[in-house]
Structure 1
Amino acid sequence: MHVSGSLSRAQIADFLTDDPIPIRLGCRTPAGELWMLSMWYRHRESDDTDDEWVLECATNADAKVVTYLRESPDVAFEVSTNRPPYRGVRGRGTATIDPDPDKTVLRALLERYLGGTDSELATNLLKEDRTEVTITISPSTVYGWNFADRMGDTGRSE
């Protein structure tokens, strides 16, 4: 993975782990059109190598994005704050789709973004008859930035 920008690899990993901001994921439809959506994600060290990491999302197996990524697995992504001073991570990579019958990733995302599984949304997403998959994004290029030095007096970061 190629890393550039004003954030180190460790700072990028910390940002992706600490801030529960949805990922904006860009891909192509089977017709070749661009498609973008926001999803919950988690940052996880890769099983393949010690110095690489992946981003994992969860969705229903019937979601359009699953069809799109199976057809064309190349993606672009961004995770960034919405209020100044802006900071974030963007990049590109490849997505893979794997079944998640135990909804392991979904449960982790519910904990990360909602603080638990005790909500109506969580109950609906965790229904036994819902078929869940994991979208794993393996970044090839990552760029991290933090504009706090030049935007420090413009507001608070999320």
Structure 2
Amino acid sequence: MTEFNGSWTEAEVMAFLRDATVPIRLATHRPDGSLWLVTLWYRYHDGSLECATQASAHLVRFLRDESAVAFDVSTNRIPYRGIRGTGTVTVSPDDGTAVLRALVDRYLGGDESALARRLLDDDREEVCIRIDPREVYSWDYSNRMDDVDERA
């Protein structure tokens, strides 16, 4: 069960996560206990946040050792708004690269670019990182930033 706090309703949080095409920042621990932060593409799907990465990535090993994570999905342009929270991760094979293909469509608009073709190469072994949020805190600085130039 996800706990929602902050300036948005649960429906507004879900709409933001569906519509925003900014990356997710995912924080975890390395085996030595130090923190590790990565930026990934995500999609909001069935109440969870899903990402894809290569099975050989250090992140995958870290997440298999420690499933508790913190995350942030927020805009990089004024007005700043977004969500942050904590949750639990499950790592599983991305059979048929279904999640990766959905992410390529979401962020690149299709598979025609060189980047998309490289990401979808048959030689890559992908995994799905599924984040089940435990708590979500939303914020929106639109009102206090309504007179600030977007280029600031």
Q: Separation in 1 of the partners of 2:15 and 2:85?
A: 16
Residues 33-90 of structure 1: per-residue CA shift (max 9 Å, x gap): 1000100000012xxxxxxx10000000000100000000110000111122110010
Correspondence for 1:79 among 73, 76, 79 = 73
Q: How does 1:16-35 map to 2 (within 5 A)?
A: 16-35=17-36
Q: Separation in 1 of the partners of 2:111 and 2:79?
A: 32
Q: Kindly state the Cα deviation for residue 91 of structure 1 after the two structures are TM-superposed.
A: 0.2
* Structure 1 gap ranges (5+): 46-52
Q: Kindly state the Cα deviation for residue 156 of structure 1 after the two structures are TM-superposed.
A: 4.0
Counterpart of 1:58? 52
Count of residue pairs brought into register by the alignment = 150
TM-score by length of 2: 0.96
Counterpart of 2:149? 155
Would you identify which runs of 4 or more consecutive aligned residues in structure 1 move more than 4 Å? none
- CA contact 1:12–1:144 (8 Å) conserved in 2: yes
- CA contact 1:101–1:131 (8 Å) conserved in 2: no
Q: Separation in 2 of the partners of 1:92 and 1:59?
A: 20
CA separation of 1:119/1:133 partners in 2, compared to 1, >3 Å: closer, same or farther?
same
Does residue 123 (structure 1) correspond to residue 117 (structure 2)? The answer is yes
Counterpart of 2:130? 136
Residue identity over aligned pairs, in percent, reads 49
Q: Separation in 2 of the partners of 1:79 and 1:44?
A: 15
Q: Separation in 2 of the partners of 1:44 and 1:155?
A: 34
Q: Separation in 1 of the partners of 2:85 and 2:125?
A: 29
- CA contact 1:69–1:95 (8 Å) conserved in 2: yes
